[in-house]
Amino acid sequence: MTEEIDADILIVGAGGAGLLAALHALEISRKLKIVIAVKGLLGQSGCTRMVQGGYNAVLNPNDSLDRHFADTIKGGAWINHQELAWKLVEEAPRRIIELENKAGCLFDRNPDGTIHQKAFAGQSFDRTVHRGDLTGIEIMSNLRDSILESDIRVLQECRGVELLNGDGRIGGALLLDIRNGRLIVVRAKATLLATGGGATMYRISSPSLEKSGDGMAMAYRAGATFVDMEMLQFHPTGLLVGDSIATGGLLEEGLRGAGARLYNGLGERFMERYDPNKLERATRDVISRSSYLEIAAGRGSPANGIFLDASHLGEDFLKENFPGMVERCADYGFDLLHDRVEVSPSAHYQMGGVRIDVDCRTSLEGLFVAGEDAGGVHGANRLGGNGVADSIVFGGRAGDTMADYVLGRELSKTQVDGSRWERPDGSNGENPFALRKELENLMWEKVGVVRRGGDLESALAELEALAERVDRTNVDSLPAWNAALDAANLIVVGKMVARSALIRSESRGAHFREDFPSSDSAWLKNIVLKPDGSFECEPVCFSRLTPL
């Protein structure tokens, strides 16, 4: 049985980007009928809630937008879309005020009452706004409350499965209620994808597990254009906790900033070999790569990781400055205060994604994208603190744009073939959970921290084979069906990552090719992937800042 809902705006995904979009659109017109579909629970799902470190914004008169912009572009190894990056920097301060004054968030204060800002890697000024080390919870709890106080309809535990096409534009989406297997058609004049990427396609990853590249896969199937899909960030210190879902959960960067050290399985402080000046304060990509190479060379820890040691910083210092990290380690039987903790690089964030303009429009009429599903803002590397700012800034912009876009428009006559999405019969196929594991291992080994042309080619062939097999998995229960849909979407995204990684025959930012270990200025280009299988390498447009 399929339920049908008509709306002005459909928002798929309810992290920072989705919720800000809804609130902004509503502020423009209280009459708008807005529907949010979220795969998890409102306010409890996605990565915005997991934000520990904080949100970058220029608030101090001694800082400047130009400095934040330059940090972002240098961090992105010069291939960011500069106008998107500028919007991020320009609007981030305004949104902080909005989060406090409208949504009711309260960030940490200096003694004089101004907002406290802390240092974060890659930044020339202390500009990271935070609420202790639980910034994401502060933001999401308040945004959720604002949504609950409104007339916005929220469909919880409903996943977007396919975009609807009609009259040559995107006209809503087909949803699946994952609690009972019911399909729901939402016809909408404007549709936003804000499902937060798919870094969970790797064996070790940090994002919340319900995120499985759904938005990107839906956009791909609908014919959207993607940019720089090879750019996937690995965080250097994800916890290793065996088969637990806690594996990949992060120990925050501030620990290394404060002086924590990294050792290999032989007890060597290996960063002395890779970056003798910055050591553990080197950037995320350098440390992740160095750790990966140590592990690959057989010098890893017993669980195939490396060790993080903060014990010399002292019990009092750690308890005062990193209470969340001390507690997280203790929860899994590690003693951060007195002992070494086993960690590994952990797939963390997709810089690549659907190509958008500064108003979150895509190449498809009626389709808008914001947050981690969109590409271009962060180039080849995202700075810590710029991720949540991105979701809040571009979520707000998407809401503004969509509210304008729907004015005076009719719903399109969408063609819905729900039968294509009914749960298939049959229980003879292979286990989708096992297939997903296979995918994660493949991505980790052949499309991971260190890449090689031959591996990428064989990964692409294996991904094709997985794509065929996933259609024949055993989906005789709702969780199995859900797992098969997740795996199918991750394969779509994984193929784009592998393809783009094969095309970029250089190393830049988070993308490291062992067969092309240097950056090449001829590659100051964006890789644009089109759904018809073609691609273009477009020279970066240095609209504001040019590399020296």
Question: Is the CB of 52 or the CB of 507 nearer to ligand FAD?
Answer: 52
Which DSSP symbol is given to 125? S
Considering 68, 130, 131, 256, which one is annotated as catalytic?
256
188 near 10, Cβ under 8 Å? Answer: yes
Report in angstroms how near the CB of residue 283 gets to ligand FAD at its nearest: 15
Binding site for ligand FAD (CB under 6 A): 12-18, 37-40, 45-48, 50-55, 159-160, 194-196, 206-207, 210-211, 214, 250, 349, 371-372, 384-389, 391
CA distances for 269 relative to 262, 290, 306, 345, 421, angstroms: 6, 11, 10, 16, 53
Report in angstroms how near the CB of residue 520 gets to ligand FAD at its nearest: 29
Question: Is the CB of 13 or the CB of 448 nearer to ligand FAD?
Answer: 13
Q: How many CA atoms, within 13 angstroms, populate the side-chain half-sphere of residue 67? A: 15
Three-state helix/strand/coil letters over 275-323: CCCCHHHCCHHHHHHHHHHHHHCCCCCCCCCEEEECHHHCHHHHHHHCH
Report in angstroms how near the CB of residue 11 gets to ligand FAD at its nearest: 9
Report in angstroms how near the CB of residue 471 gets to ligand FAD at its nearest: 18
Report in angstroms how near the CB of residue 454 gets to ligand FAD at its nearest: 31
Question: Is the CB of 160 or the CB of 396 nearer to ligand FAD?
Answer: 160
114 alpha-carbon distance from chain centroid:
30
**Radius of gyration of the chain, Cα coordinates, nearest whole angstrom:** 22
Considering 81, 144, 203, 235, which one is annotated as catalytic?
235
Active site annotation includes 508: no
Active site annotation includes 256: yes
Give the other-Cβ count within 10 Å of 69's Cβ. 20
- Sign of the CA dihedral 192, 53, 323, 205? positive
Tokens read off for 142: 């308040």
φ/ψ of 184, rounded to 5, equals -130, 130
Question: Is the CB of 97 or the CB of 465 nearer to ligand FAD?
Answer: 97
Question: Is the CB of 236 or the CB of 385 nearer to ligand FAD?
Answer: 385
Tokens read off for 224: 């959207």
Active site positions, annotated? 235, 256
